[in-house]
Structure formats: structure tokens, C-alpha cells
Amino acid sequence: MKWMKFKIKTVTKAEDIIISALYDIGLEGAQIEDKVPLTALEKEQMFVDILPEGPQDDGVAYLSFFVEEGEDGSPLVNGESRTVDQIREEIRTELEELRSFLDIGEGSVAVDETEDIDWINNWKKYFHQFTIDDVLVIPSWEEVQTGDEDKLVLHIDPGTAFGTGMHDTTQLCVRQLRKYITNKTRILDVGTGSGILAILSLMFGAREAVGTDLDPCAAEAVRQNKLANHIPDESFALMIGNIITDQEVRDRAGYECYDIVVANILADVLVLLTPVIVHQLKRGGIYITSGIIDDKERTVREAVEAAGLEILEVTYQGEWVSVTARKP
């Protein structure tokens, strides 16, 4: 099998947001090449005594996305046959939209063909267990280590399409959820992906979770992670569709019936989501958002307040922001 490789030259600060934006057009499983120094935690997890000095970080990054070729040799995106030019143009359009508010560097797009490699599983070499406060997040292919038995253990297999929980925005949401969840909480997780936030909410004691996602791949990811964490089907329901634009999805989700709505998605999407999702929240309900790059904080805050919500707190981690609000 052969794959088309779309390689983008950008800057390290734009890596996360470009990956998120291109995921929305069906490009998944990014390979990242940069010269960012390893963190102390990453060094500890490598089990080597001495690490060679790496090259100095020049701020440049390369993001590669691999697209499977169909039987006729044309690339397949979300199961649909596309031309290389179509995909390249969609990438360029997304990059130019991002460039309007973010430094993405050169933003060039190179295309190449590569032989079949196990890139789908290669990322597993770099995803190891880690903690968010007293929560141990562990992939399905690792075992709980001695000394971690007292932690709350979340078994997660994100697959190629969704996050691992290591990102700052996920951790911001986790900490906010823990503050507000009770044993009566009914939670709606918009953009649930692999189900990390919804599953953790149930583990924190929430009564019921509902998730929505645009990507049909979420169904299998959520199913596997529910099984891995012994979550009953009736505790966590999933709907595939766009809750912003799809009336049927909104009707199925229900109105004024959630104690918490959490959305860890891009700021521009939050601006569109907020005036819609406010109708799903109960009076007094909590709205937790992240996925907000720091220079977009004001934009999201304004959208939240314009929807009639009262901002309770704004929290930060790295260059990312979480806004938590309440419906009066």
C-alpha cells in the first residue's frame, strides 16, 4: 500500500492549532519534526543515562499528514476519492485562515508519495503513561506501575484521530470538571473525540454523560475506551453530528438538561458554539471551555458574555486558556 504525504513547513508555536484545523478537513495522524528541547519529564521517561546535545531550536517545524491511496491511486479522505490538487488547496485555504490571526511561518505545502509503513502505530512509541494531578492516564498497551495503585486510573487508547490527554487544554478541562462535578451531574461533552473528558467525568462521580463529535471514528474510539474503563453503555451516549448546525443533533441532545457542558475545541468554533449550546444548559449550569490559544482569550470571553453567561474563572496552562462560566 502507498500513501500520499503532505508536508507543511511552519513554526513550532503553530503546531497544535494547525493539526487541529487540518483534522477538521479529514487529515489525521500528524508526524511532527522540530528541534524543541525535551522537557525534564520526557527525559525521565526515556530511560537513558546521557542524552546527546540536540540542535538549537530554530522555531521551525514540519508537519506531515499521510493519506491512503485508493485502488485507482487517488488519495482517500474520509473514504472519499480526492485529487492531490484538491487536498493541497484545502490545506492552503486552512493555513491562510490561520495566518490571519497567527504566525504560521512559511506555510508551504510539499507533496510526496511514500511506501507503506506502520505510521499508524509508530506514534505509540512516544505515548506513555502520565499523570494529571492524582489521575494516571495510561495507554492500553502499558501496565500500571508499582506505586501508582492508589491513583485514579484512566485507560485510554486515542487511536490515530484523537488526543491522548497530554495536551494543556485537556488538562485544563479535567481540573475544572473536577471542581464542579457532583453525583447528580449530567454532562454534555462537545467534540468528545476518544471520550477522555466524558469518561473521566463519570469516574469523578457524574451521573450520566452524553458526547457529540463530527467524526464517525469517534464511535469506535469511545466504544473501546468505555470497555477499557468499565463504563456501562447506558452511562455514556454518543451522537455523531454537528450540534452547531444540525437541529436533529440538538433535539436528540435535549434542552436545558445538562448541569455541565464541556467543549475543548478551537476558539473560532467556540464562538459559534456558545450561543447555541447555552440552550442545552440548565439554569445555574456550568460551561467549561478550552482549546483557546492565549491571544484568542478575549474573543471567547466576549462570545461567552454575549450569550448571557457569567464568567466564573479563567485558568491558564502554557499558552492555552480555559474559560469557565455559569448560566444565570
pLDDT on residue 51 = 46
Residue corresponding to grid cell 494531578: 133
Of the chain, the percentage scoring pLDDT greater than 90 comes to: 54
What is the chain's alpha carbon radius of gyration, rounded to the nearest angstrom? Answer: 20
Q: Domain-by-domain residue ranges, the chain?
A: 2-122, 167-326
Residue 185 in this model has a pLDDT that exceeds 70? yes
pLDDT in tens, 116-158: 555 555 656 656 677 788 888 887 777 777 777 778 888 887 5
pLDDT on residue 25 = 87
pLDDT on residue 246 = 94
Q: What is the dihedral sign for C-alpha 298, 303, 304, 306?
A: positive
pLDDT in tens, 24-48: 888 877 889 888 876 655 554 433 3
Residue 70 φ then ψ, to 5°: -80, -175
Residue 207 in this model has a pLDDT that exceeds 80? yes
Domain covering 167-326 assigned CATH 3.40.50.150 in the classification: yes
What value does the mean pLDDT of the chain take? 86
pLDDT on residue 46 = 39
pLDDT in tens, 221-273: 899 899 989 999 999 999 999 999 999 999 999 999 999 999 998 888 999 99
pLDDT on residue 115 = 63
Task: Mark 53-70 as b/e (b = at least 16 C-beta within 10 Å).
Answer: eeeeeeeebebbbbbebe
pLDDT in tens, 150-168: 788 888 875 544 455 567 8
Same fold: 2-122 with 167-326: no
Residue 189 φ then ψ, to 5°: -110, 105
pLDDT on residue 161 = 46
pLDDT on residue 253 = 96
Residue 114 in this model has a pLDDT that exceeds 90? no
Q: Which three cell numbers stand for residue 166?
A: 497530554
Q: Which three cell numbers stand for residue 327?
A: 448560566
pLDDT on residue 18 = 93
- Report the distance separating Cα 231 and Cα 199, nearest Å: 7
Lowest mean pLDDT among 71-85, 239-253, 305-319: 71-85
Domain covering 2-122 assigned CATH 1.20.120 in the classification: no
Whole-model pTM: value is 0.64
SS (H, E, C) the chain: CEEEEEEEEEEHHHHHHHHHHHHCCCCCCCEEEECCCCCHHHHHCCCCCCCCCCCCCCCEEEEEEEEEECCCCCEEECCEECCHHHHHHHHHHHHHHHHCCCCCCCCEEEEEEEECCCHHHHHHHHCCCEEECCEEEEECCCCCCCCCCCCEEEEECCCCCCCCCCCHHHHHHHHHHHHHCCCCCEEEEECCCCCHHHHHHHHCCCCEEEEEECCCHHHHHHHHHHHHCCCCHHHEEEEECCCCCCHHHHHHHCCCCEEEEEEECCHHHHHHHHHHHCCCEEEEEEEEEEEEEHHHHHHHHHHHHHCCCEEEEEEEECCEEEEEEECC
Residue 80 in this model has a pLDDT that exceeds 60? yes
pLDDT in tens, 166-181: 678 888 999 999 999 9
**126 to each of 32, 42, 54, 123, how far by Cα in Å?**
12, 9, 18, 6
- Give the mean pLDDT of 303-319: 95
pLDDT on residue 11 = 94
Confidence label for 77 from pLDDT (cuts 50, 70 and 90): confident
Residue 275 in this model has a pLDDT that exceeds 80? yes
Q: Which amino acid is at 241?
A: G
